[in-house]
Homo-oligomer: A and B are copies of this chain.
Amino acid sequence: MNTPLQATGLPIAAVERDTGLAKDTLRVWERRYGFPQPARDANGERTYPLEQVDKLRLIRRLIDQGLRPAKIIGLDVQALVGMLDEIGKPRDGGDPERCAQFAAILKFVRLHLHEDLRRTLQQLLMKLGLQRFVSEVVAPLNRVVGDAWLRGELEVPEEHLYTEQIQNILRAAISAHAALRSGRPVVMLTTFPEEQHALGLLMVEATLTPEGACCVSLGTQTPLEDIRNAAASGRFDIVAVSFSSAYPARQAIDGLRTLRSGLPEQVSLWAGGAALQGAARKLPGITVFESIDDLPGALDAWRRLYCAAQA
């Protein structure tokens, strides 16, 4: 039979795929904490019962949220679900109509309704304009989708579909502003190595471009040295770096300090994203953004400071 009715359990490689926990990690947890405790098949190889895999998935999500294995690995499934709900809870009530729209969008994502998803987003973009679309739709939607992902309501392909569609919409909208591509300041956009999330960069670009800034994106994962070299060319006024919530805060802060010290004085360094929440005062000489809404203000401030004559 091709479908061996795997109600019995999953091999370790499948659990690694399903949970994102490395095989070595699964084995060392078993040794240290006594969980998971897989059965063994005829060949002495581990066979993980489905319930244990489900629990592992929950533990994985909580660890991603900053909790530590030893604290949670002994808890039962119900307690783990409770903790996840707790974390995902503080959603802003906001406009009820907008909330309903978000729910509808989430449904489209879950059901793979490309067409409906695209159309709905496009309509919101037309109604609100690019900047409000980013700050009032994309930013909160990212939270909604992130929470749904946390609860396990979305699979990888669904999350992917969402990201791609948003990116398409934003890219198209940005390119409509191409005529403005000669303004000041000239902003270099990028992320550090190991940071693959491009959505933040596009949100920044979509917010700054209509304000007349000239955004040049280097894409994701630019080595620090390449960023420095590009900035040394003198073509850029501002270097903007974005960090998703998955990026380790420590690494972001260290990297930004290093970059700042390697950058010419007159080049501003801007940084933002979930990983930098509350890290502003640890980064002197760097403009840290708590919210995407602060970008236009910072742009004005830059212009007053450096382009007094033109303003």
Give residues in A with beta carbon < 8 Å to B. 1-3, 112, 114-115, 157, 164, 168, 171, 175, 219-220, 223-225, 254-255, 258
* Closest B residue to A165 using CB positions: B168
Question: Closest CB-CB distance, A175 to chain B, in whole Å?
Answer: 5
Q: Which residues of B sit under 8 angstroms from A112, Cβ to Cβ? A: 219
* Closest B residue to A178 using CB positions: B115
* Closest B residue to A194 using CB positions: B17
Q: Which residues of B sit under 8 angstroms from A258, Cβ to Cβ? A: 1-2
CA distance A223 to B1 in the complex (A): 13
* 3 closest A-B pairs by CB: A2-B258, A115-B175, A114-B171
CA distance A220 to B112 in the complex (A): 11
* Closest B residue to A255 using CB positions: B2
Most buried by B among A2, A164, A223, A255: A2
Question: Closest CB-CB distance, A272 to chain B, in whole Å?
Answer: 20
CA distance A115 to B181 in the complex (A): 15
> Is the pair A224, B3 in contact by a Cβ cutoff of 8 Å?
yes
Q: Which residues of B sit under 8 angstroms from A223, Cβ to Cβ? A: 3
Question: Closest CB-CB distance, A227 to chain B, in whole Å?
Answer: 11
Question: Closest CB-CB distance, A269 to chain B, in whole Å?
Answer: 15
Question: Closest CB-CB distance, A7 to chain B, in whole Å?
Answer: 13
Q: Which residues of B sit under 8 angstroms from A168, Cβ to Cβ? A: 168
Q: Which residues of B sit under 8 angstroms from A114, Cβ to Cβ? A: 171
CA distance A219 to B156 in the complex (A): 13
Among the listed B2, B157, B171, which residue makes an inter-chain contact with A115, where contact means beta carbons less than 8 Å apart? B171
> Is the pair B3, A157 in contact by a Cβ cutoff of 8 Å?
no
CA distance A220 to B161 in the complex (A): 13
Question: Closest CB-CB distance, A34 to chain B, in whole Å?
Answer: 25
16 residue pairs of the A-B complex, CB under 8 angstroms, read A1-B258, A2-B224, A2-B254, A2-B255, A2-B258, A3-B223, A3-B224, A3-B225, A112-B219, A114-B171, A115-B171, A115-B175, A157-B219, A157-B220, A164-B164, A168-B168
* Closest B residue to A168 using CB positions: B168
Q: Which residues of B sit under 8 angstroms from A255, Cβ to Cβ? A: 2
CA distance A219 to B3 in the complex (A): 20
Q: Which residues of B sit under 8 angstroms from A1, Cβ to Cβ? A: 258
* Closest B residue to A23 using CB positions: B24
Q: Which residues of B sit under 8 angstroms from A219, Cβ to Cβ? A: 112, 157
Question: Closest CB-CB distance, A46 to chain B, in whole Å?
Answer: 15
CA distance A191 to B185 in the complex (A): 49
* Closest B residue to A257 using CB positions: B2
Q: Which residues of B sit under 8 angstroms from A171, Cβ to Cβ? A: 114-115
Question: Closest CB-CB distance, A115 to chain B, in whole Å?
Answer: 5
Q: A3-B223, A115-B171, A157-B219 are in contact. List 5 more A-B contacts (CB 8 A).
A: A1-B258, A2-B224, A3-B225, A112-B219, A114-B171
Question: Closest CB-CB distance, A28 to chain B, in whole Å?
Answer: 15
* Closest B residue to A219 using CB positions: B112
CA distance A171 to B118 in the complex (A): 11
